[in-house]
Amino acid sequence: MKEKKSSAGIMFACAAVVLLALLCIAEALQIRWQMVQAEDLRHELEKEDEVISDTAELTALGKKAEEYKLTMEAYKDERDGMEKEIEDLRARLEGKEEPSESGSSEGSDESTVVINESALRTYEDPRFQNYAGKGDNYDTRQYMYSTIYSYPTDVVFAGDSLVERCSWDELYPGLNIKNRGIGGDTVEGLVPRLESIFKTQPKKLFIMIGINSILGGKDSDTIISEYKYLLDEIPDEDCEIYINSILPVASTQTHAGDIILKARDINEAVKGMCEERGYTFIDMNEAFSNEDWALKSEYTTDGVHLTAAGYKLWKSYLDPYILQEEED
C-alpha cells in the first residue's frame, strides 16, 4: 500500500515537471514570436523612414523645379516684351516701302526710314579694306549707313574726314541733309559706298575725296584711274552730281610740295572727266591757297583739316548750287 502511494507521488511529480517544462517552452515560444514580430516591425519602420526621406528629397526637388519654372516663365515674359518692343520700333522705322529702283520720290513730303537687314556683313568685307586704318570707326559708320537710312534727301555730302567734320545740316537749315563723310576714306573706298548713298534718293550729291589717296602714297595716274572708275560707277539717276576739288595741304606737312602737285594734276584730270559726263566740278583751290599753292594757315587746324573759317569759305562756293532752288 505504501509502495502504491510512493509510485503515485513520483508520477505526480513527473507530470508536474513535464507540465512546467511545457509551460516554459510555451513561454519561450511566445517570447520568440514577440521578438520576430518586433523585428518585422523594426524593418517596416526602417522602410517607412526611407520612404519619408525619399519623399522629403522629392519635395525639395519639386520646390526647386517650381522655382525654376517660375524663373523661366518670367524670363520668357521679359523676352517676349523685349521682342515686341523691337518689332514696334522696327515697324516705326521701316515705314511702308523700300525706295524704288528708279529712285523716284515725287509727291513724297516725309522721309521714310529703312532698316536694310540684307546689308548686314562681317567686319572683314573685302570691299572695304583698301582705305582706312585698322581700328578706326570706318567700318562701324559704313555698316550703319548701309543698314539704316531714310529717303528722299535734298543733299548728300560724301567723302572723307573733310566732309565728316562739318555739320552740314546746320549750315543749311530747312533742307534734308545727309553727311556721308567717313574719316580715312579714299577714292577707291568711296566706290562700294555709292549703293548705300543712292538708297537715300538724293536730289544733289556733293563729293570731296582724294587727299587720303595721295597721303597714302599712290601716284597721280593711279588715283586718276580710280577717280574715273568712281565717276563711271555713279548710277544714272535723277541726281545732280558735284565734285569738289582736292584741297592742298599746308606747307608744314611732310612732302607738302609733292602732295600739292599731285592734287593739282588730279584736279585737272577730274575736271575734264566731269565735263565729259555733265557733272559740275567746283574748283576752290585758288581761294584756299597762298602764293605757293599751299593751304592757308587760317583755314586749317593741322595742315589738312579745316577750321570754321575754312568751312565758311567752302560754303560760299556751294551756296549757288544748293540755294538756287530756294531762291527760285
d(Cα 269, Cα 225) in Å, to the nearest integer?
A: 10
pLDDT at 199 over 90: yes
| % of residues, the chain, pLDDT over 90 | 52
Q: What is the DSSP string of 216-283?
A: TT--HHHHHHHHHHHHHHS--SS-EEEEEPPPP--TTSTTHHHHHHHHHHHHHHHHHHHHHHTPEEE-
Residue at 32 is within a domain: no
Average pLDDT over residues 16-21: 68
Average pLDDT over residues 25-42: 74
**CB-facing half-sphere around the CA of 260: CA atoms within 13 A:** 22
Q: Which domain holds residue 194?
A: 151-327
Residue at 54 is within a domain: no
d(Cα 171, Cα 175) in Å, to the nearest integer?
A: 10
pLDDT at 51 over 70: no
Look at 133-147, 226-240, 274-288, 292-306 and tell me which has the smallest mean pLDDT. 133-147
Q: What is the pLDDT of residue 99?
A: 47
Query: What band does 150 get if pLDDT is binned at 50, 70 and 90?
Result: confident
Q: What is the pLDDT of residue 250?
A: 96
Residue carrying the nine cell digits 579714299: 186
Residue at 241 is within a domain: yes
Query: What band does 137 get if pLDDT is binned at 50, 70 and 90?
Result: confident
Query: What band does 36 get if pLDDT is binned at 50, 70 and 90?
Result: confident
Residue at 40 is within a domain: no
Q: Which residues pair with 240 in a beta bridge?
A: 204
- Pairwise pLDDT comparison (89 vs 279), residue with the higher score: 279
d(Cα 150, Cα 196) in Å, to the nearest integer?
A: 10
Residue at 25 is within a domain: no
Q: What is the pLDDT of residue 140?
A: 80
Of 174, 221, 213, which Cα lies nearest the Cα of 190? 213
pLDDT at 76 over 70: no
d(Cα 185, Cα 138) in Å, to the nearest integer?
A: 8
Q: What is the DSSP string of 169-207?
A: HHHSTTS-EEEEE-TT--HHHHGGGHHHHHTT-EEEEEE
Predicted TM-score (pTM) of the model is 0.64
Residue at 250 is within a domain: yes
Residue at 80 is within a domain: no
Residue at 285 is within a domain: yes
CATH classification of the domain holding 199: 3.40.50.1110
Q: What domain count does the chain have?
A: 1
